[in-house]
Amino acid sequence: MDASAVTVRIASSAIAPLVKKLFVPGTAGAGLTDRPVRIAKLVSFRGEEQSTLGETHLRALAVELVARAGEERGPHEAVPVFVRHQLTEALVIALHSLGDLDMEDVQAVALGPEALAARLTRPRAMAVETEAYFDPLLETACLHILNFFSTRSTFVPRTLVEQTRAIDRLIAATDLLLDRIPSRLAEDTRFEQRYADHIRHKYGELTIYGLDLNHAREWPLDAAYVSLEATTAGPGDIPVPLPAERALSGRDRVLLRGPAGSGKTTLVQWLATATARQDFDELGGRLSHLVGRVPFVLPLRRVMRDGEPPTPDTFLHAVRSTVAGAQPTGWADRVLRAGRALLLVDGMDEIPRYEREATRRWMRELMAEFPGNLWLVTTRPSSVGEGWLTGERFTELNLSAMQRTEVERFVRRWHTAAHADDGLGDALIDAIHTNDDLGRLAVNPLMCGLLCALHRERRGFLPQGRKELYEAALRMLLERRDVERGVVTENELRFSTDTSIALLQKLAHWMIRNNRLEMAHEDALAQLKRTLGSMGHVQETPERVLSHLIERSGLLREPAAGRLDFVHRTFQDYLAAKALVEEGDFPLLLDNALNDQWEDVVRMAVALGRPAERKRVIKGLLGYVGGERGLGSRTVRSLLLAASCLDQAVEIDPDVSQRVKGLVSELLPPPSAPFARMLAEAGGPLVPRMLPGPEGLTHEQALNVVTTATHIGTDAALSVLVRYRGHASRRVRRQLVWSWDRFDTERYAREIIAQLDPEGLYFTAHNVDHLRALRAMGGRSRVQIAGPYLPHDLTENLDPGLLTHLWLREGYLHSERRWLDAFPGLRTLVIPEGDYLLPTALPPHLTVMFGRSTDVTWSAPRPAGA
């Protein structure tokens, strides 16, 4: 394929947002003079305050142009790596010279794209292969730049005559461009804009339960979203945390595991809306992999019908999108074939187990037919086995429980959205941090939201266990709706709270028995008809009762015509467990105990049961262990489920409790990092008291013990970590440093960080408070910055005389070297692999290196200025 031909097919929807950021925003009504504006005054990469951000956008534009040109050539004519790199640098140099042009914007438009490109700096000594691409790509960029000039609000009133002449030239160039583009591309572009608006409206709000006393309230997603952490680990390595919304950065395919209520679906919504907005301030740099992408949200329980997954042309129909009928014929196929799709496959655990293999085959076929797209698949942890998608080159990540800072951020945002007293939020944060029972509950957005609502409703009094929390939440949502809302009409039904719960239980019971997360309207009516026959005090038709539950309970909803589900899976599990215990369905419970969709039902059944019933359930779980003494999946899952049930039991037979503890002790120390994380999530408060060592453990075993304790994150776990702070293994010390943000900053700094041997160890700072704590300890020579930062955060808090190694995990995004000059002793700067903007002239003594995600192991040493 001719290099000069591919560039004209680059869609403006991908390039225009990047071009816009290269220039200083105009102000409507400003500059109404007869003098045009010089280009050097418009560019955003001139001036001290603007240079960093502007040059980031400049490089992003160059990277996007090169990537698009490469995509057009296809997999059999791939652009060589050295050409892509050289081409990117050449475009950066050329576009940067816009700031040196001594001409006005009107003059530039009059020149046209080819002549403007000729005025820009042409790098020397380009390879022949690079030159073939350089001119067409630069002219494409200039075409979009001139189009941007012509649309500025101050442009028209300044120079109408000059603009008319320039627009004629620009229109001719655009016509030439459109002549070379299939006509369907214009139709696709128009639809994609409409589809993006649809995605922003459809997924741009988050349902937060408990903001009022009976119904969920829609909360703007931007205000509600709290960045969570996902972790991964290579074989034999420590878990590596990263912001969950960046899970696809550097990864084309991710399987994300997380328990119920952990925020998986919220993350899917956020990725979809962020991609639809194409706001480069948001996507640039850290989310550049989403630029130009088209999101497809595919909740499996909605799109899988009778085991049949949708084809690309029916993606929008499968989710009942209101714009499905407007999509151009073949549009989805073209998006996928161009490798522009972001496929968000949500809820592998929410379809029956027998459908999951068919779903995997469907994904495999799509990936083979349409390579190059991004995939995110979400599931509960135990729904699919470890390595289930390894053959399809998926990276497995685990969504972590909310950390202290995330809990605090969520609680404050909740109280702001609810217009609640800030002091009430501060009191709740203090209670969560000081009460271990509450701390164990505040691990995900759903539970934090319920705690916030109950804390406000009860004026500071909070339930102390999961069972009491759900009971209080149900009553809060049900019992006071009529009085508080003041919307009761004369003929409206009024049920007691117990009656409403009993009716909802029947529906939840049917759904769990039949392994369903939705039920058909006629099935719900059949269950209610049977139940109402034994409720003499309710003289209403099943149809009217069902309508009442949907409209007024706040717990049941109708996501599609003729189908019902619960507003959150957790409420369904709790109500199903209550029905199972009341009806004595313990054989059914135990037969399904190792079905991943039943795990929370089992825990709730133990919490709701009487002592003899609790004993029966836990002994039944231990029956799966039997005489086996290995680490078979059934043994481990049943034993850890039994251990987690102990935390739910108010009273339990001491012999049964002792047997569980004895069996768990045989699994210690944890044999692997994945098992360590699973033990932390499922074992409950029992585990910290049983963790061994460090005496008598190998370095690998010690690392797994520390991994378990850091993922538990309680005061009891901190007591375990204190024993390991003097460990000789650097990997153990790295895990201790990584986990600082899981604990109180000052206490962890005092008891762990200050006690670690600094030899060869990067001290990780997740936020400015960590930097300040390191400064208070006297500083460290090796520091790793794990989150976003500003240069002054570093210059104010790092010791200039002590710092020799600096690792920026978020990349180096600052073109000014002045802040680097503040650290004369700095010898090594580590940045991630990828394209990051560096100053053109670095200090001669500084070496820049690319660091992989877990340690300072080098992929390609690079001296300064290279």
Residue 680 φ/ψ region, left for φ over 0, alpha for ψ in the -120 to 50 degree band, beta for the rest: alpha
**Whether residue 144 is found in the same domain as residue 292:** no
Does residue 19 lie within any of the structural domains? yes
Does residue 626 lie within any of the structural domains? no
Q: What is the pLDDT of residue 111?
A: 78
**Whether residue 169 is found in the same domain as residue 23:** yes
Q: What is the pLDDT of residue 317?
A: 93
CA angle, 706 then 707 then 713, to 5°:
90
Specify the CATH number for the domain of residue 810.
Answer: 3.40.50
**Whether residue 310 is found in the same domain as residue 361:** yes
- Domain finish residue from 446, 463, 480: 463
Q: What is the pLDDT of residue 494?
A: 73
- What string of DSSP letters covers 663-704? HHHTT-S-SSHHHHHHHHHHHGGGTGGG---STT--HHHHHH
**Whether residue 73 is found in the same domain as residue 206:** no
SS3 217: strand
Does residue 624 lie within any of the structural domains? no
- Domain finish residue from 382, 400, 418: 400
Does residue 806 lie within any of the structural domains? yes
**Whether residue 238 is found in the same domain as residue 349:** yes
Does residue 345 lie within any of the structural domains? yes
Cα separation values, 225 from 206, 271, 752, Å: 8, 11, 31
Alpha helices in 805-860 (DSSP H): none
The rounded distance, in Å, linking the Cα atoms of 376 and 395 is 10
Q: What is the pLDDT of residue 340?
A: 92
Q: What is the pLDDT of residue 686?
A: 77
What global pTM score does this model have? 0.59
CA angle, 214 then 219 then 222, to 5°:
160
- What string of DSSP letters covers 765-818? ESSHHHHHHHHHTT--SEEEE-S---HHHHHHHS-TTT--EEEETT-------T
**Whether residue 212 is found in the same domain as residue 145:** no
**Whether residue 346 is found in the same domain as residue 422:** no
Question: What is the span of the domain harbouring residue 766?
Answer: 758-866
10-residue stretch averages of pLDDT, the chain, 866 residues long: 45 68 57 54 59 66 79 58 82 85 75 86 78 84 82 55 53 53 70 93 72 51 74 57 78 87 86 85 65 92 82 93 93 93 92 87 95 92 81 88 83 82 87 75 78 82 78 74 44 76 93 89 92 81 86 74 81 93 93 85 92 92 64 73 81 87 87 84 77 92 93 87 94 92 90 94 91 94 84 88 88 60 88 57 75 45 37
- 491: exposed, middle or buried (C-beta count within 10 Å: 0-12, 13-18, 19+)? exposed
**Whether residue 236 is found in the same domain as residue 305:** yes
Dihedral of the CA atoms 376, 379, 385, 391 (nearest 10)? -10
Q: What are the strands, taking DSSP E only, across 417-574?
A: 519-520, 556-560, 563-566
Does residue 748 lie within any of the structural domains? no
CA-nearest of 566, 412, 447 to 208 is 447
**Whether residue 376 is found in the same domain as residue 432:** no
**Whether residue 362 is found in the same domain as residue 417:** no
- Domain finish residue from 400, 429, 445: 400
Does residue 718 lie within any of the structural domains? no
**Whether residue 164 is found in the same domain as residue 249:** no
Strands 229-232 vs 805-808: parallel, antiparallel or unpaired: unpaired
Specify the CATH number for the domain of residue 275.
Answer: 3.40.50.300
Dihedral of the CA atoms 394, 400, 405, 410 (nearest 10)? 90
DSSP label of 41: H
Residue type, 310: P
Does residue 615 lie within any of the structural domains? no
Helix, strand, coil tally for the chain in percent (to 5): 55, 10, 35
**Whether residue 386 is found in the same domain as residue 355:** yes
- What is the number of domains present in the chain? 4
